[in-house]
């Protein structure tokens, strides 16, 4: 059986009895065409069920109308929400979004740089992961347009969309302090990450403002994953009762969940024995018991803005001003209570 070939512009032109260029003008509405011929072409397109070949178009136009979205994992709802925001902005601009989960697939950043250079992708939105190497991001940004989300590289002015991590962190720490806590432990995010750094700075500011020496507050390093929350909570709590913190500030919700899990496993009542707070306000945060007090990040909006920024970067050849940091919001729920 003869393989059926998709119709091309040539077929349409022949069917309508016009030239190739005329068909192109009609399809793209990019040239003057007399209305009778236009409708002849339109008819031919409909009859043949013609759809322009996008590879050929991209080749000619030097643009793939496609961007990449690099993120550490999808199972973390925060990333999923950012992704949805990006998807929406992209679809408004008739741009496709390709999903890149380097950790799950074992692809290196260099692989994505190649994608950029090969013009398969016009740009990428980069959601920083644990252990992102600055050199890789730079490599990436040398190969094409890149926008960072909730990440920033001190020293290199890379375009980024961020929320006010520091302020959000300060506010929730204040909230914990105002509830009366004086023995607080911190579970931080992965050290090299800007967001982790900012949140830590915010916590310390609040602590210092309350007259505590931030350097004496127990700090445990995590990686934004649930398991780390569990493990670091264990470390934080397995101390002499007198030294035991009455509140645990976690740098994101997932780690707070891990801490919650640990508490459940070891019979620690939350919030009566221990208060716990998170960061991000992922949808699940209001589902766990007790409902988690946390800081809302406008994940969807961040994604949307990041995509918009990327588009203007692509269109204007590298010129574009990032938006102001997005405000965060303290979400007071049930996981904080005064210490006993």
Partner DNA sequence: GACTTTTACAGAACCGTTTCGACCAGCTTC
Partner DNA sequence: GAAGCTGGTCGAAACGGTTCTGTAAAAGTC
Residues in contact with DNA by CB under 7 A are 5-6, 8-10, 17-22, 24-25, 27-28, 30-34, 36-38, 50-53, 56-57, 59-62
Positive or negative CA dihedral for 191, 194, 197, 203? negative
Q: How far is the CB of 43 from a second copy (least distance, A)?
A: 18
Residue 19 touches which of DNA, a second copy, none (CB < 5 to 8 A by kind)?
A: DNA
CA distance 212 to 220: 18
Nearer to DNA, 27 or 93 (CB): 27
The secondary structure element, H or E, covering residue 294 is strand 294-296
Nearer to DNA, 40 or 166 (CB): 40
CA distance 256 to 230: 8
**For binding to a second copy (CB under 8 A), which residues are involved?**
3, 6, 49, 51-56, 58-59, 64, 66, 69, 73-75, 77, 80-81, 83-84, 87-88, 90-92, 96-101, 104-107, 114-115, 117-120, 257, 260-261, 264, 283-284, 287-289, 317
Q: How far is the CB of 55 from a second copy (least distance, A)?
A: 4
**Helix axes of 20-28 and 9-16: crossing angle, nearest 10 degrees:** 110
Nearer to DNA, 30 or 289 (CB): 30
Residue 32 touches which of DNA, a second copy, none (CB < 5 to 8 A by kind)?
A: DNA
Supply the DSSP string of 222-244, one letter for each residue: --SSHHHHHHHHHHHHSS-GGG-
Q: How far is the CB of 252 from DNA (least distance, A)?
A: 42
Residue 106 touches which of a second copy, DNA, none (CB < 5 to 8 A by kind)?
A: a second copy
CA distance 77 to 38: 48
Q: How far is the CB of 140 from a second copy (least distance, A)?
A: 13
Supply the DSSP string of 11-63, one letter for each residue: HHHHHHTS-HHHHHHHHHT-S---HHHHHHHHHHHHHHT----HHHHHHHHT-
Positive or negative CA dihedral for 288, 291, 293, 295? positive
Nearer to DNA, 20 or 74 (CB): 20
């Amino acid at each position: 059986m003869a393989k059926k070939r998709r119709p091309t512009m040539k077929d349409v032109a022949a069917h309508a009895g016009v030239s190739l260029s005329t068909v192109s003008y009609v399809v793209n509405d990019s040239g003057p065409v007399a209305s009778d011929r236009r409708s002849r072409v339109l008819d031919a397109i409909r009859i043949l069920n013609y759809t322009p070949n996008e590879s050929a178009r991209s080749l000619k136009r030097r643009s793939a109308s496609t961007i990449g979205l690099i993120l550490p994992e999808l199972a973390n709802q925060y990333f999923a929400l950012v992704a949805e925001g990006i998807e929406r902005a992209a679809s408004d601009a008739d741009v496709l979004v390709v999903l890149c989960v380097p950790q799950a697939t074992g692809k290196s950043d260099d692989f994505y740089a190649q994608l950029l250079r090969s013009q398969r992708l016009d740009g990428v939105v980069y959601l920083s992961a644990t252990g992102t190497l600055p050199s890789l991001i730079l490599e990436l940004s040398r190969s094409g347009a890149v926008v960072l989300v909730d990440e920033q590289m001190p020293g290199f002015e890379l375009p980024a969309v961020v929320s006010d991590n520091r302020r959000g962190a300060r506010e929730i720490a204040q909230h914990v302090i105002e509830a009366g806590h004086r023995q607080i432990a911190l579970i931080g995010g992965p050290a090299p990450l800007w967001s982790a750094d900012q949140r830590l700075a915010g916590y310390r500011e609040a602590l210092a403002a309350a007259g505590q020496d931030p350097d004496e507050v127990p700090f445990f390093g995590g990686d934004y994953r649930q398991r780390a929350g569990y493990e670091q909570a264990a470390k934080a709590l397995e101390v002499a009762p007198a030294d035991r913190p009455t509140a645990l500030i976690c740098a994101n919700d997932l780690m707070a969940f891990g801490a919650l899990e640990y508490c459940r496993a070891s019979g620690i009542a939350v919030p009566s024995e221990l208060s716990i707070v998170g960061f991000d306000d992922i949808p699940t945060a209001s589902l766990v018991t007790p409902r988690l007090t946390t800081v809302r990040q406008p994940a969807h909006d961040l994604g949307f803005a990041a995509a918009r920024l990327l588009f203007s970067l692509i269109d204007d050849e590298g010129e574009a001003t990032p938006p102001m940091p997005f405000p965060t919001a303290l979400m007071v729920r049930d996981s904080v209570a005064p210490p006993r």
